[in-house]
Structure 1
Amino acid sequence: MTSVAVLGTGLLGTAIATRLLHQGLNVHVWNRDSSRIAPLAAMGANVIDDLEQVVENHRPIITVLRDASATTSVIDGVGHLQGSTVIPMGTMGVEESRNLAKHVAGQGGSYLEAPVLGSRPQALNGTLLVMAGGEALDFNQQHELLTHLAEQPMHVGPVGSGAATKLALNQMIASLTHSFSLSIRLIQQSGVPVETFMKILRPSALYAPTFDKKLQRMLDQHYSDPNFSTALLRKDLRLFLEEAAAAGLQTNGLQGLATLLEDAQGGDLDDQDYCALHELTVLR
């Protein structure tokens, strides 16, 4: 039976571990707050009490942690990696990922960044979009594991390319949600029925499925039960802007959105679904 460790059991990490358990894998789980492991243990996951237990049997190590700093700290706690492959699935900066790869190599392990597009529902049904960055050999060795989570995991290039691809996609999440919110606000204030607007938008080249996924939440101001929070969206947009600046890109058009999200930091929207940025597109 294939054995894998999942470090970090927040919303996405729990969904990933659950999917792997349902696929018949021998799953070992760890979380800083051990109480969050209980549901997975009840499903048959093995609880890791000490991070040094992670590398037993040279199992691959999937990390689903908030950022590069948290991931590095946890991998430090594992100690010598004994040839295990570390597979971070969280979002981090390009240089952060490259530095983590060097860190992992210094601990005797291999590294395959594998950030994902999708959230809890996609993780549970195995339809995440995986964009892997690293050596082709490492990708080929972990391909079977990744196919439990994605129908067609993609190797996009060397370390850093997966991180860049994920940031590019998450920037679009922020931009699309923001632009859609502004459009909805304007047509409502102009007296145009929202469904009339949507009937025009849906068959057009401007339509994106995320619009219908978030529309009712925005109209109902229902932002609880997030799959991806406003705080994480802000963090990822900040990372994108840092990478874009380093690449010499003009980002003035995004700065206003970044400012909106920064101004909301520490407020009620942080832990809610990211489409709560709809609350920021009207003057109060």
Structure 2
Amino acid sequence: MTKIAVFGMGLMGLPMTQKLAEANISVMGFNRSAQKLEPLKAQNVPVTTDVKEALDFADCLILMLSDFPAIQEVILSCDSSFAQKTVIQMGTIAPDESRQLCSEIKARGGDYLEAPVLGSIPQVKQGELLLMVGATPQQFEQWQPLFKNYSPEPSLIGEVGQAAALKLALNQMIAGLTSTFALSLSFLEQQGVSVDIFMDILRDSALYAPTFDKKLTRMCDRTYENPNFPTKHLLKDINLFLDATQGKNTNNVTLQAIQTVVQRAIAKGYQDGDYSALIEGIKD
């Protein structure tokens, strides 16, 4: 039986580990701080704060760490070999970062593929994430049984780096859709126009996206607690997209403006709130 170690017990890493444990897959949770491992300990899932222990345990490493610097610190700073191990990067990092990670893992004798996901905690629990794989066809087939725990139809996008690029493209759309919706709501509030009427018309139009209704109550009530995706993570992904398009003959000025809005919301103290808090960056 393949043994899995999940690295990073953040908002997604924890339920993704629990999902494997519920499927009776041999899994260990790793996190640098012990506190985030407590829910797994309570469920009798093996846990560790020691990288070597996790590496010794696992045949396959799933990376759900916060960003590429965290991956470098946790995985690449040690001198351990990855011989006969597979590393699956499932967080959101830049395409070039994923390619660099692939090279370094292979140089240490390991195998590497990327499988970023779109969705949040409810989709993890229901096994309904959108899962995008950057790998060879052989790797994709080999790890299909694992991926099926998270997604009914994992998609092979192409080689390493291409799934990472697709994930960033989708995440910048999260920023774009949410910011334009927040701008319209703020404008209508100032003009005294009924939000209910606005939503009735919007829902019947080609402009509508389901995320608008998901964020409506939070934005109107200014309630951002218990996020599935915090504002600081949205800013991280915006920054990754801007960096990835730098010098690539892509005019990213619109996203630069959204970046400023999100930065303003974070400056007001909403970094850990739901990303709908970016509406706070629109108001003076």
C-alpha distance in structure 1 between counterparts of 2:57 and 2:91, whole Å: 24
The answer to whether the 8 A contact 1:51-1:78 is kept is no
Local SS of the residue matching 1:167 = helix
Local SS of the residue matching 1:196 = helix
The answer to whether the 8 A contact 1:54-1:78 is kept is no
The answer to whether the 8 A contact 2:135-2:158 is kept is yes
Q: AA paired with 1:39?
A: P
After TM superposition, give the deviation of residue 32 of structure 1 in Å: 0.1
| CA offset digits 1:73-123 (Å, max 9, x no partner) | 221237111221111111111111100111111121111111111111111
Superposed counterparts of 1:126-145, under 5 Å: 126-145=127-146
**Percent of pairs with identical residues:** 42
Which residue in the other structure is 2:14 paired with?
14
Determine whether 1:94 maps to 2:78.
no
Which residue in the other structure is 1:105 paired with?
106
Q: AA paired with 2:23?
A: Q
Determine whether 1:227 maps to 2:231.
no
Superposed counterparts of 1:160-179, under 5 Å: 160-179=161-180
Local SS of the residue matching 2:246 = helix
| Structure 2, gaps ≥5 residues long | none
Cα RMSD for the two superposed structures: 1.6
Q: AA paired with 2:204?
A: P
C-alpha distance in structure 2 between counterparts of 1:272 and 1:10, whole Å: 14
C-alpha distance in structure 1 between counterparts of 2:91 and 2:100, whole Å: 15
Q: Sort the Cα spacing of 1:179 and 1:78 in 2 relative to 1 into closer, same or farther, 3 A.
A: farther
Which residue in the other structure is 1:51 paired with?
51
TM-score, normalised relative to structure 2: 0.95
Which residue in the other structure is 2:65 paired with?
65
TM-score, normalised relative to structure 1: 0.95
Q: Sort the Cα spacing of 1:2 and 1:180 in 2 relative to 1 into closer, same or farther, 3 A.
A: same
After TM superposition, give the deviation of residue 2 of structure 1 in Å: 4.3
Q: AA paired with 2:209?
A: A
C-alpha distance in structure 1 between counterparts of 2:174 and 2:124, whole Å: 18
After TM superposition, give the deviation of residue 48 of structure 1 in Å: 2.9
The size of the alignment, in residue pairs, is: 283
**Greater CA drift, 159-168 or 73-82:** 73-82
After TM superposition, give the deviation of residue 229 of structure 1 in Å: 0.9
Q: AA paired with 1:193?
A: S
Which residue in the other structure is 1:150 paired with?
151
The answer to whether the 8 A contact 1:55-1:78 is kept is no
Which residue in the other structure is 1:185 paired with?
186
Local SS of the residue matching 1:54 = helix
